Structure 1
Amino acid sequence: MKLIGSKTEAEFRESLTVSHIQHFSPESNSSLKSYLRSQNIPVENAYILNEIPEESTDFYSILISGSTVITVEIDKCSTQNCSIESNIDLKHYLVGLSKIEQIKLHVAKELSGMQT
């Protein structure tokens, strides 16, 4: 898929950048960042594709280094109860994605420095 500079792409670029700064900047004290680092997962080029907040946990789908999507469960009460629920390469992650989610993924890949 080739990005064309659309308004949708610009909106995704802005929201992905904001969430990246919020969770993964050097100044951030995010429990998500702490957990990923404890698992030796690089966060410098990580972008959150989806976030599902629940009462006691949050679920995140995160593009890591432009090549893998992981789903992480973060317990709001204890970082010891966090886990990586899935680890999927992009080829398999793309299967069944809607057009809009594919655009979001390609914008995230571009932001991470990977070719789209």
Structure 2
Amino acid sequence: MNTVKDLPIQQNRLLNAGFLLVCLCLLDAVFTDYGIRSGHIQEANVLVALLYEQSIPMFYIVKLGLPLLLLYIITISKSGIVLRISLTTALFLYIAVMCIHIFWLVVVAI
């Protein structure tokens, strides 16, 4: 059972996880941009690929805007189960994406 003393700790954990998500999204955007510019990869997401072709700055804004929006939602809301599941899912997905980026960076380096 959560006590009043536990709630700030949970909120801090969510904020830390949200900040980690923003960092992972930034790394994903930079690695994706590098990979596309150097011709090593193609963007797998059709909508993001179209966005990248139209405007690279807008690509970065969207890639960072969504996790920043989630981080903002964390700061203004209570730590509900939907928010925690959303954040956890996004973190797992971006960790998987970072593993893929690291894999192709190693392959390109060899």
Is the TM value for this pair above 0.5? no
Structure-2-length-normalised TM-score = 0.30
Structure-1-length-normalised TM-score = 0.29
- Whose helix proportion is higher, 1 or 2? 2
- Whose strand proportion is higher, 1 or 2? 1
Structure showing greater Rg: 2
